[in-house]
């Protein structure tokens, strides 16, 4: 379980600030990663370790060395970098890491299972660290514990903020669609009005072309409405303001108020990320010290 970390490991080895504001770096050899069938389980990682050790054994016989990597562990995840160029090779977010263990027989080997963000497959990452295998496992556990607590603390606020953003985005989209439809309708009405009052050929129109049957200049949303002087030279009366209790605009639609608009669904991308984080943290991270391989297959390869 998630909060069980605090009970199991009462004295974590790092300060929360070190993992929240910075990161803890370790150097290790990276045996690689391989797909596994389940997010947790000792047998699952045993098979993966055996497989990757065997592959490394073959590569070593071909003259290839195990690549060295730098691990940067923080509440944002486990980054696997090239120690010289600092290029990020893998970025494993904590809520995607479900199982983490170090080998109690071969004390150099440690591993974790992480759900890949693109393929959604469970990948088992295997490393060789001469002195820090157990410490790295516990550091990942501590980072997960802190990240989960942070998610619970800020989650409510984040969710509410994102809900409001999602609701506003949805309403804006609706208004833009409505606006374009109204413009289209208005254009069609103007066109119909112009066609209806085109004088027959040969007749003389007494009215200027620029006005309609009511002696009004046809309204176009493109031209700004500028007040003009009335025929008697007096300025036009001020526009009448609608009483505040009238809740509809001139098109009969309810005016948009961001403070009273109902809660909408999240945009799909935000919703799926929140769901995925919640699901990952709820599943928890299992920390284990176990025996991965009983066979003496070149454990130092």
Dist CA 253 CA 18 (whole Å): 54
* DSSP tag of 14: S
Nearest residue to 98 via CA among 277, 291, 281, 292? 281
Question: Residue 19's pLDDT is what?
Answer: 92
Dist CA 99 CA 287 (whole Å): 6
Kindly report the backbone phi and psi dihedral angles of residue 195, in degrees, each rounded to the nearest multiple of 5, phi listed first.
-65, -45
Q: Name residue 109's beta-bridge partners.
A: 128
How far CA 66 is from CA of 58, 141, 190, 246, 298, in Å, comes to 11, 26, 76, 75, 13
Dist CA 206 CA 173 (whole Å): 46
pLDDT in tens, the chain (301 residues): 444 444 445 567 898 899 989 999 999 999 999 999 989 988 899 999 999 999 999 998 999 999 999 999 999 999 999 999 999 999 999 989 999 998 887 789 999 999 998 898 999 999 999 889 999 999 999 999 898 888 888 765 566 666 677 778 888 888 988 888 999 999 999 888 888 776 666 555 555 556 655 566 665 555 454 555 555 555 555 555 545 554 554 555 555 443 343 444 455 566 666 777 777 777 778 877 665 544 444 444 4
Dist CA 141 CA 25 (whole Å): 15
> What are the tokens at 116?
């890949």
């Amino acid at each position: 379980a998630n909060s069980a970390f605090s009970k199991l490991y009462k004295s974590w080895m790092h300060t929360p600030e070190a993992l929240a504001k910075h990161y803890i770096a370790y150097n290790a050899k990276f045996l690689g990663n391989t797909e596994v069938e389940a997010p947790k389980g000792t047998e699952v990682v045993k098979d993966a370790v055996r497989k990757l050790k065997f592959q490394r054994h073959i590569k070593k016989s071909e003259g290839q060395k195990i690549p060295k990597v730098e691990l940067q562990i923080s509440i944002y995840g486990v980054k696997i970098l090239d120690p010289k160029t600092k290029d990020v090779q893998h970025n494993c977010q904590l809520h995607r890491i479900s199982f983490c263990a170090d080998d109690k027989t071969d004390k150099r080997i440690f591993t974790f299972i992480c759900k890949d963000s693109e393929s959604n497959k469970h990948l088992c990452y295997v490393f060789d660290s001469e002195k820090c295998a157990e410490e790295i496992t516990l550091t990942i556990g501590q980072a997960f514990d802190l990240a989960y607590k942070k998610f619970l603390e800020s989650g409510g606020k984040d969710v509410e903020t994102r809900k409001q953003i999602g609701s506003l985005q949805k309403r804006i989209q609706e208004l833009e669609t409505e606006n374009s439809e109204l413009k289209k309708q208005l254009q069609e009405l103007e066109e119909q009005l112009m066609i209806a009052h085109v004088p027959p050929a040969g007749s003389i129109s007494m009215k200027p072309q620029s006005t309609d049957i009511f002696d009004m200049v046809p309204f176009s949303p493109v031209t700004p409405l500028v007040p003009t002087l009335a025929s008697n030279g007096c300025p036009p009366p001020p526009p009448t303001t609608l009483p505040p209790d009238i809740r509809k605009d001139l098109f009969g639609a309810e005016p948009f108020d961001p403070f009273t608009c109902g809660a909408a669904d999240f945009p799909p991308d935000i919703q799926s990320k929140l769901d995925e984080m919640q699901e990952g943290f709820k599943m928890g991270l299992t920390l284990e010290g176990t025996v991965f391989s009983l066979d003496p297959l070149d454990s130092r390869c």
